[in-house]
Structure 1
Amino acid sequence: MASAEKNLSQFSQKNVTDVSEKRFAIVVSEWNEEVTEALYNGAKETLLSNGVKPENIYRKDVPGSFELSIGAQWAAQVDEIDAVICIGCVIQGETKHFDFICDAVAQGITNVSLKYNKPVIFGVLTPNTQQQALDRAGGKYGNKGDEAAITAIKMLGF
């Protein structure tokens, strides 16, 4: 279902597992900070509301979305980390830069997940405009950060 028809903060409670003892790393891009901070806050609140202890949520900032892959790898290689959530926002511009960054980040995050056999979640917005990003970072379509966090929780119950 397209996000234009769905509030991203509404999700099924099916397959939600007890994560009270799990540890999560959230890797956050500093680029598009207004958006990524809102996404981070959504992810953190969803983790807390599902029983994750505040001391079991670790945040690491990276300069931009391109650096999410290495930040995720550094987090995933820590044995005590059970899942990694990557938060970023790449807004379409006038050049192909958008395409290269989005492709690299998606592939990089996937590779980290497979390499460490841990959930590494793609919480990266790829909108056409700043307004579309804000609409999905706590705006009229909810918060994609919530969705990223619940995805991490559900993957730990697999």
Structure 2
Amino acid sequence: MTKFLEGNDDGSPLRIAVVVADFNSDITSALLDGCLQTLRDRGVNEDSITVAHVPGAFELPGVCDKFAASGSYDAVIALGAVIRGDTPHFDYVAGECARGIMQVMLARKPPVVFGVLTTDTLEQAQLRASTTDCGISSADEAGREQKTSRQSNKGAESAVVALYMSKLYAAI
């Protein structure tokens, strides 16, 4: 008989580490707010959440690795925002950050969630860090209001993924 494994987003018994990059802090603080609120809403006890701040996205994998290796957490969430500029710096930081977090996820026991925005513009990052889950309106060239797709806080989404994946890992 086929066995189906699933996670869920009940966080009540879980211990969660969140590592947040301070660079682009207007964006990353909104991601953190969404993440923490979602963890609390899903039943994670305030005393079971640890938050560590790092200077930028490049430093995220190292601290995620320390948390994951400690054995004290059921999931680790990395939050950051890398916004494209005029130099190739974006490509190096975004790529190595993603690669580093993936390496930690594959090498360690708890799930490590990639909640790092990699956007072309500040506006794109702001939309993905929004604390409202509603249609975003903007004007086209003729000044007519245009409705864009629904946006939500990617920090909140990362929290849900962390809870789900930690329960799935436990079921395997």
Task: Give the structure 1 partner of residue 82 of structure 2.
Answer: 90
Task: Give the structure 2 partner of residue 63 of structure 1.
Answer: 55
Report deviation, 1:15.
Answer: 3.7
What TM-score, normalized by structure 1, do the two folds share? 0.88
What TM-score, normalized by structure 2, do the two folds share? 0.81
Q: How does 1:1-158 map to 2 (within 5 A)?
A: 15-138=7-130, 140=136, 141-158=151-168
2:18 partner SS:
strand
Task: Tell whether the 8 Å contact from 1:17 to 1:156 is kept in structure 2 after alignment.
Answer: no
Percentage of identical aligned residues: 41
Report deviation, 1:31.
Answer: 0.1
Report deviation, 1:17.
Answer: 4.3
Report deviation, 1:22.
Answer: 0.8
What's the Cα RMSD here? 1.3
2:80 partner SS:
strand
> Which has the larger displacement, 113-122 or 34-43?
113-122
Structure 1: 4+ residue segments shifted above 4 A: none
Runs of 5+ unmatched residues, structure 2: 1-5, 137-150
How many Å separate the matches in 2 of 1:35 and 1:128? 14
Runs of 5+ unmatched residues, structure 1: 1-13
Tell me how many residue pairs correspond in the alignment.
145
Report deviation, 1:79.
Answer: 1.2
How many Å separate the matches in 2 of 1:15 and 1:118? 13
Q: Which has the higher strand share?
A: 2
Q: Aligned AA for 2:21?
A: S
1:94-144: CA deviation from partner (whole Å, max 9, x where unpaired): 111111111101110011111112110000001111111111101541200
